Chains A and B, each alone.
Chain A
Amino acid sequence: MRVEYINPFVEAAFNVLREVLQSDVKRGELYLKSTSMPVMGVAAIVGLAGDVEGRVLFDMDKPTALKIASAMNNEELASFDDLAKATITELANMITAQAITKLHDLGFRFDLTPPAIFTGDNMEVSNADVEALIVPMETGHGKIEINVAVRERA
């Protein structure tokens, strides 16, 4: 993944999370991963197209997702219902969109596809031939892992 793409995603995730959660957010150490990886329970995915192809995956466990959805809606959500799902989807959309806006300013043309959300236990994402950048974010409500896999269109 091009070096220029990294910071916009990290910054966007940091800014958006801090804004919507109104709390401190810490960024973990970035690393690369290429094997199939388990998903913690809730995964929102946004596709990227344009000069590049790829996807951004937001991965968190259910209690974290519920707490974040509750915080964003300013009300206590009891179960991971449609509202909660829509909220997490929106969060994914906000972060990706902000990152892409930043990239646009740097001269990179990206489009994004509407986000989708997956929930369930023992899920695994496997596209072993794609190397993903993992951006771990520690929020007051739990950990979110942002998994970015982007490559130039050959």
Chain B
Amino acid sequence: MTAQTERETEAAESAKRAEKVDFKMITFSLAGKEYGVDIMNVKEIAKAGRFTYVPNASPFVRGVYNLRGEIISVIDLRIFFHLPAERKEEEALESLIILKIDEHVFGVIVDAIDKVVGIASVSIQPPHPIFGDINVKYIKGIVENGGKLYIILDVEKIFAPERAEDAPKAGPSDARGAPSPREAEAAVNAGAGGDISASFVKETLAAFRGFYVTGINEEWFAGRYAEWKAVRKDSDLQLKEASEADEFLEGFWSPDTGALWDDDYASAVEAALPPIEAKSINVWNPGCGKGYETWALACVMRKRYPDARIKIWANDSDLLAISMAPNMVFPESIPEYYRPFTAKGRNGLVFAQAVRDSIFFEFHDVMNANTLPPLDIILCRDMLSFVAPIDQKRLLGDFYDKLKPNGIVLCGASERLGEGWSPAGTGAVKAFRRDQ
């Protein structure tokens, strides 16, 4: 193929595709499949035959060839990839791609060389772990062009410099040393029920919003993912930016998350709280954020347990969020439920002293040790899902240890505590009781 035709093909290709072409590859066929190699690795293409046989070389080395005075070794890619190779006539010319990797030049025999294809490198998809004939670590990716799928070979990995040096001796098995990162990644994806898109969505949720899919919210995730799939169709499943992650999480939040609970929800929580005989009731609210829910719970509890001494430890590791919590002022439009517990302040409504005295807002990281007394209630709506899985486990253990035998955990509407916990909520209020 001359430079002229190369340019023509390329022009035709780029006309077809409006995308930015920043990756060019030489395509060829091998055992009925289409492959590509990065043009930057290709020195030239040639037709040649009558290679000089080298005794005692690996079977895939067809021999050496005199390329205008330069002696190069010639590798038969069919044999290299353990594909059936038919015996050719002695005189027949073979299609040869001359590769140049670092300083090493060698020829690779393929069935037929096709053309130069320009593509946008963003359109290259990662190889699927169950790809077939060729070990996935030799594959850079797969790309669609003109109705054909091309497997892009990672020739740099296949013919790494140390093998190219003595290519006649090294076998393909040598290249199967440590698993490449790509292979490890592929294994992880394969482990996630084979649905790469789902695991990709999980990853991006963690990256964009610190949301971790674990046993706590798996049920919700599976449902939401199915919904997402139905709306987005198969083409556009992945979350490409933070706003899409937010969109995905839309259905996750509990009613009135991070806000004062409205009249209905406050009454629902009141109804869901278990009877407690003890004189003093201890509550923990890790990850209280700005503290709205803490105030709401304090009022609900005052109403539910009017005679008990209530203590709520509310903490958050976000100093900015929590620093305003103790002295919060509310507008007159506060839900009716809370009105009996408020008093007029200078700038609006404030909570009555009795309610204020029941809450300790603390700047505290739940991953650090704390000295909480045995607890009756833990309020952690929509919080556990935003803790890294390993810390989630620790925190749940902490909950288990610190709760009194009949204590309950109020968690998010889309969250479930797993083993060791049994449901104790009613209606919209999700709660779990520690198993004995």
Is A90 located at the chain interface by the 8 A CB criterion? Answer: no
Please judge, given known A-B contacts A6-B323, A131-B370, A154-B373, whether A32 and B361 are in contact too, CB under 8 Å.
Answer: no
A9 to chain B, nearest CB (A): 11
In the complex, number of A-B residue pairs with CB atoms less than 8 Å apart: 46
Query: Are A34 and B368 neighbours in the complex by a CB distance under 8 Å?
Result: yes
- By a CB distance below 8 angstroms, the chain B residues around A30 are 319, 363
Query: Are B365 and A34 neighbours in the complex by a CB distance under 8 Å?
Result: yes
How many angstroms from the CA of A34 to the CA of B367 in the assembled complex? 9
Contact mask A23-36 → B, CB, 8 Å, 1/0?
00000001011100
From residue 171 to 221 of chain B, which have CB atoms closer than 8 A to chain A? none
Contact mask B287-325 → A, CB, 8 Å, 1/0?
000000000000000000000000000000101001101
- By a CB distance below 8 angstroms, the chain B residues around A152 are 360
Please judge, given known A-B contacts A3-B322, A3-B326, A6-B323, whether A34 and B362 are in contact too, CB under 8 Å.
Answer: no
Is B347 located at the chain interface by the 8 A CB criterion? Answer: no
- By a CB distance below 8 angstroms, the chain B residues around A3 are 322-323, 325-326, 361-363
Query: Are B365 and A32 neighbours in the complex by a CB distance under 8 Å?
Result: yes
Please judge, given known A-B contacts A151-B371, A152-B360, A154-B373, whether A131 and B323 are in contact too, CB under 8 Å.
Answer: no
A139 to chain B, nearest CB (A): 22
Query: Are B369 and A128 neighbours in the complex by a CB distance under 8 Å?
Result: yes
- By a CB distance below 8 angstroms, the chain B residues around A1 are 362-364
How many angstroms from the CA of A129 to the CA of B367 in the assembled complex? 11
Q: Which residue of A lies closest to B317 (CB)?
A: A32
Please judge, given known A-B contacts A32-B317, A32-B363, A131-B364, whether A4 and B326 are in contact too, CB under 8 Å.
Answer: yes
Query: Are B369 and A129 neighbours in the complex by a CB distance under 8 Å?
Result: yes
How many angstroms from the CA of A151 to the CA of B368 in the assembled complex? 13
Query: Are A6 and B363 neighbours in the complex by a CB distance under 8 Å?
Result: yes
B319 to chain A, nearest CB (A): 6
Query: Are B319 and A2 neighbours in the complex by a CB distance under 8 Å?
Result: no
Query: Are A32 and B368 neighbours in the complex by a CB distance under 8 Å?
Result: yes
Is A77 located at the chain interface by the 8 A CB criterion? Answer: no
- Which of B326, B364, B367 has the largest count of A CB atoms less than 10 A from its CB? B364
How many angstroms from the CA of A154 to the CA of B402 in the assembled complex? 14
Please judge, given known A-B contacts A3-B326, A4-B326, whether A32 and B364 are in contact too, CB under 8 Å.
Answer: yes
- By a CB distance below 8 angstroms, the chain B residues around A130 are 369
- By a CB distance below 8 angstroms, the chain A residues around B317 are 32
Contact mask B395-436 → A, CB, 8 Å, 1/0?
000000000000000000000000000000000000000000
Query: Are B369 and A133 neighbours in the complex by a CB distance under 8 Å?
Result: no
Contact mask B364-408 → A, CB, 8 Å, 1/0?
110111110100000000000000000000000000000000000
From residue 120 to 154 of chain A, which have CB atoms closer than 8 A to chain B? 128-131, 133, 151-152, 154
- By a CB distance below 8 angstroms, the chain B residues around A7 are 323
B362's partner among A2, A33, A129, A154 (CB-CB below 8 A) is A2
Please judge, given known A-B contacts A1-B364, A2-B360, A3-B323, whether A154 and B371 are in contact too, CB under 8 Å.
Answer: yes
B368's partner among A2, A4, A131 (CB-CB below 8 A) is A131
- By a CB distance below 8 angstroms, the chain A residues around B325 are 3
From residue 36 to 63 of chain A, which have CB atoms closer than 8 A to chain B? none
From residue 1 to 25 of chain A, which have CB atoms closer than 8 A to chain B? 1-4, 6-7
Query: Are B369 and A34 neighbours in the complex by a CB distance under 8 Å?
Result: yes
How many angstroms from the CA of A131 to the CA of B323 in the assembled complex? 18
Contact mask B275-290 → A, CB, 8 Å, 1/0?
0000000000000000
- By a CB distance below 8 angstroms, the chain A residues around B364 are 1, 32, 131
B111 to chain A, nearest CB (A): 63
Residues of chain A touching chain B, judged by Cβ–Cβ distance below 8 Å, are 1-4, 6-7, 30, 32-34, 128-131, 133, 151-152, 154
Closest 3 CB pairs of A and B: A34-B368, A131-B368, A129-B369
For this complex, 21 residue pairs linking A to B, each with C-beta atoms less than 8 Å apart, are A1-B364, A2-B360, A2-B362, A2-B363, A3-B361, A3-B362, A3-B363, A4-B326, A4-B361, A6-B363, A7-B323, A30-B319, A33-B368, A34-B365, A34-B367, A34-B369, A128-B369, A131-B364, A131-B369, A131-B370, A154-B373
